[in-house]
């Protein structure tokens, strides 16, 4: 690769992180999941794992990220900065993973594709788990692909276990390892090779199992089952399937943007890799296609599921500009630079346009903290914001209107917080509290231009 092109790639990678560092200081909002993870982090520092002590509220979430941020969870800006630093580490690890497999040129392109991916840019500015998960997947793959020594298989399993307790889509990594070993056993004819393959998988499985034991015990303590948290998470996010191919393709393009061209070309290039790299390709193909299959059938479909395995897609995209396709010349390389620049701008635009998400809820929860005592209870669907920003106990609306009065009396609810946007309130709440002499409206907060987006009612004695 010529020096000028290399410098251009490095400048784009640096630009992606410099702009993220600047833009987070303009972010006045917070996502639901951010509020949950920050609240769980603070609970860890207080010696329990749930939004409220003595309950299992949100404790089905994978615990590694909340544990890691527990000491800084009181400051969301500091947590976001730590996530950006983690995202930088994930790009570096992707570089070394690609270099280990296909050399320096592919590695540099893979680092560029990942660091400018529009969803990667977006999610790495929030207090969420994606950058940490990506780093752990890369580490697991790096040690797995080293082969040879037993400790590499164990360490790979450890990082796979850490990935699972960061995001449950880590299941895909272990499924891919399992299928890959089945493939090796089917392909192998020598008894010694079969024995080595079986031992290697057993060591990887041991590293994985030992790592997830604390999570299994935590799940048992909260749900009475070692897999209670895992299946509760599945139940929470189960719903209707994707409405059709249009939504699916839109989600896929949201993940890849114009980089999709190089992803497709790279997939073809992967079929023609040099002989010494072919042994590793079945695993990479599994990690390429299984997340796509999962994304297409998951009840709760989100493009961020694909983002979890972004190092693999970045690696394939990097292949489009190396090896057999090197002869394509500068035009394809400059087109790749342009595509990555477009993705970076798109990602930053997404971050900028999202900077007020949840702002009204943050203000409302802060207001509740000022006018309530520590023992007061708030009824709302937006409970993570109430727990994190006001430190007050929250209960959700009953499913049916007839149970509201009883729930308020039983829980000694003092205030009600209504939010017009996600998550949706039960339908009856739109009219139930208006003009009801059992409640007094005290204040409202603006969100996205709607002055009535957040409304707080006081429960009359």
Query: Domain spans of the chain?
Result: 3-353, 359-459
Residue 332 confidence (pLDDT) above 90: no
Mean pLDDT of 403-430: 94
Mean pLDDT of 382-404: 95
Query: Which phi and psi angles does 52 have, rounded to 5°?
Result: -135, 130
Mean pLDDT of 327-356: 89
pLDDT tier for residue 447 given thresholds of 50, 70 and 90: very high
Q: How far apart are CA 221 and CA 216, in angstroms?
A: 9
Residue 327 confidence (pLDDT) above 60: no
Q: b or e along 226-241 (b: 16 or more beta carbons within 10 Å of the residue's beta carbon)?
A: bebbbebeeeeeeeee
pLDDT attached to residue 300: 65
**Residue whose structure tokens are 């702002």:** 359
pLDDT tier for residue 131 given thresholds of 50, 70 and 90: very high
The residue that leads in pLDDT, 38 or 281, is: 38
pLDDT attached to residue 277: 66
pLDDT attached to residue 406: 95
H-helix segments, 103-244 = 104-116, 118-123, 130-146, 150-164, 171-187, 191-223, 228-236
* Pairing relationship of beta strands 450-459 and 413-419 according to DSSP bridges: antiparallel
Residue 62 confidence (pLDDT) above 80: yes
pLDDT tier for residue 324 given thresholds of 50, 70 and 90: low
pLDDT attached to residue 321: 87
Residue 328 confidence (pLDDT) above 70: no
pLDDT tier for residue 244 given thresholds of 50, 70 and 90: low
**Residue whose structure tokens are 């969301």:** 76
pLDDT attached to residue 243: 54
Residue 409, judged by CB atoms within 10 A of its CB (0-12, 13-18, 19+), counts as: exposed
pTM across the whole model: 0.94
Residue 397 confidence (pLDDT) above 90: yes
Compute the residue count for the chain: 461
pLDDT attached to residue 165: 98
Percentage of the chain modeled with pLDDT above 70: 94
Residue 240 confidence (pLDDT) above 60: no
Q: How far apart are CA 32 and CA 417, in angstroms?
A: 15
Residue 27 confidence (pLDDT) above 90: yes
* 393-395 β-sheet, strand order: 393-395, 377-379, 413-419, 450-459, 439-447
Q: Specify the fold of 359-459.
A: D-Maltodextrin-Binding Protein; domain 2 (3.40.190)
Q: How far is CA 30 from CA 13, 33, 356, in A?
A: 26, 8, 8
The angle subtended at Cα 79 by Cα 73 and Cα 83, nearest 5°, is 140
* Average model confidence (pLDDT) across the chain: 91
Please name every residue paired with 333 in a beta bridge, in sequence order, or none if there are none.
none
């Amino acid at each position: 690769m010529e020096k000028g092109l290399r410098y251009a790639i490095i400048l784009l990678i640096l630009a992606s992180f410099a702009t993220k560092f600047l833009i987070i200081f303009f972010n006045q909002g917070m996502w639901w999941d951010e509020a949950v993870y920050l609240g769980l982090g603070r609970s860890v520092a207080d010696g329990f794992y749930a939004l409220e002590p003595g309950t299992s509220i949100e404790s089905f979430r994978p615990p590694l990220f909340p544990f890691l941020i527990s000491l800084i969870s009181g400051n969301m800006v500091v947590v976001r900065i730590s996530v950006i630093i983690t995202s930088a580490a994930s790009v570096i690890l992707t570089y070394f993973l690609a270099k280990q497999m296909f050399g320096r040129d592919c590695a540099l392109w893979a680092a560029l594709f990942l660091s400018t991916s529009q969803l990667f840019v977006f999610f790495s500015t929030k207090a969420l788990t994606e950058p940490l998960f990506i780093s752990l997947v890369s580490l697991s793959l790096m040690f797995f692909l080293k082969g040879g020594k037993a400790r590499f298989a164990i360490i790979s399993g450890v990082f796979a276990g850490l990935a699972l307790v960061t995001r449950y889509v880590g299941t895909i990594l272990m499924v891919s390892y399992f299928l890959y070993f089945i493939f090796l056993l089917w392909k192998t004819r020598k008894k010694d090779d079969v024995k080595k393959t079986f031992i290697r998988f057993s060591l990887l499985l041991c590293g994985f199992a030992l790592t997830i034991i604390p999570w299994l015990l935590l799940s048992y303590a909260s749900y009475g089952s070692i897999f209670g948290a895992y299946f509760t998470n599945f139940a929470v996010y189960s719903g209707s399937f994707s409405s059709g191919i249009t939504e699916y393709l839109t989600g896929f393009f949201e993940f890849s943007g114009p980089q999709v061209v190089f992803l497709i070309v790279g997939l073809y290039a992967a079929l023609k890799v040099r002989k010494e790299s072919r042994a590793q390709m079945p695993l990479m193909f599994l990690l390429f296609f299984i997340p796509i299959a999962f994304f297409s059938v998951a009840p709760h479909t989100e493009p961020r599921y694909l983002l979890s395995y972004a190092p693999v897609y970045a690696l394939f995209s990097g292949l489009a500009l190396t090896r057999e396709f090197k002869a394509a010349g500068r035009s394809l390389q400059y087109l790749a630079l342009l595509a990555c620049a477009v993705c970076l701008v798109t990602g930053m635009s997404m971050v900028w346009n999202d900077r007020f998400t949840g702002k009204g809820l943050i203000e409302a929860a802060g207001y509740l903290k000022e006018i309530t005592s520590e023992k007061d209870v708030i009824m709302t669907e937006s409970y993570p914001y109430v727990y994190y920003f006001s430190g007050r106990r929250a209960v959700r609306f009953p499913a049916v209107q007839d149970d509201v009065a009883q729930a308020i009396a039983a829980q000694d609810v003092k205030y009600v917080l209504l939010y017009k946007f996600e998550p949706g309130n039960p339908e009856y709440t739109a009219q139930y509290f208006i003009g009801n002499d059992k409640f007094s409206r005290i204040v409202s907060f603006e969100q996205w231009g709607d002055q009535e987006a957040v409304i707080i009612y006081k429960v009359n004695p």
